[in-house]
Amino acid sequence: MVGPSIVIAIAANKQDLRKQQVVSSTESEAYAASIGALHFSTSAKTGEGLQDIFQAIADMVVARTPRSGASQRGRPGGRLTMVDDLSCQPHPTSKSNMCC
Q: Distance between CA atoms of 29 and 25, rounded to whole angstroms?
A: 6
Residues in the chain: 100
Average pLDDT over residues 5-25: 87
Q: Distance between CA atoms of 80 and 74, rounded to whole angstroms?
A: 10
Q: Is pLDDT larger for residue 80 or for residue 58?
A: 58
Question: What global pTM score does this model have?
Answer: 0.61
* pLDDT of 72 strictly over 60: no
Residue 41: enclosing H or E segment and its boundaries? Answer: strand 38-41
